[in-house]
Amino acid sequence: MLRLIWLLLIILLVLVIVQIRAAAPPRTYLITVPHGACSDPIHRDCDRAAVAAADAVERTLEAVLTQTLDGNDKDFRIVRMNYTDTNVMRKMLDMNRTEARGSEWRRRVDAFIRGTPRLEWVIDVHSFPASAGGTFAGMNLVILDAGHGPRLDSQSEGMSTPRMTTARASKKNDILNIASKANRRAVLVEFAETLDQPGLERYAAEVVRGLDLSR
């Protein structure tokens, strides 16, 4: 009888372990595009290359994660949140600013950042026009506010690929703020709108290469 009880206990223990393993959430990566909704082909009212750049980042990240994660911990998911509402454009309400916190899109983004277990990275993707000056002049990739905590060390120190730089944003990026407060690693990347498709792919690879994907 005692032996039977032991056997049942062991079976129960095994079932509990199997259950816990199955319930472990996958590593999650969030890519946000707050300025991707374009309504006007002439006036600049959006980040014109941001969606294409985010696509390139997503493809590269997926390929790299598929290659590098292995064993019992290879499950991952990449979640994309593009802002798409052309009725409320950036000049009315900028989705990357504090004022937008109550909007439907931001409520979704913020809740996801705060509530998702194992959210490894938040990658906020933007683009800038050829006319952009200051830090952006002549650059193909600008990484803003890497000092929020996470940083792209390989770029900021190595600079092996030309026309990339890190800089401080002139205004606070609120998606990064939310991520920072929730103790999530986050980065804001700005791609030049002059880049062609191979250029976008190349610099997307630089972004992914700079992320610490190991933990």
Interface with Zn ion by CB under 5 A: which residues? Answer: 35, 47, 126
How far apart are CB 137 and Zn ion at their closest, in Å?
17
Q: Cβ-closest residue to Zn ion?
A: 126
How far apart are CB 53 and Zn ion at their closest, in Å?
11
How far apart are CB 9 and Zn ion at their closest, in Å?
58
How far are the Cα atoms of 23, 32, 205 from residue 56, in angstroms, in the given order? 31, 13, 8
Let me know if 215 is exposed, middle or buried by CB neighbors in 10 A (0-12, 13-18, 19+).
exposed
How far apart are CB 125 and Zn ion at their closest, in Å?
8
CA–CA gap between residue 152 and residue 158 (Å, rounded): 10
Q: Which is nearer to Zn ion, 113 or 142 (CB)?
A: 142
Q: Which is nearer to Zn ion, 35 or 185 (CB)?
A: 35
Report DSSP state, residue 74: -
- Strand residue runs (E) in the chain: 27-33, 76-82, 119-128, 141-144, 164-167, 185-192
Q: Which is nearer to Zn ion, 90 or 184 (CB)?
A: 90
Q: Which is nearer to Zn ion, 35 or 151 (CB)?
A: 35
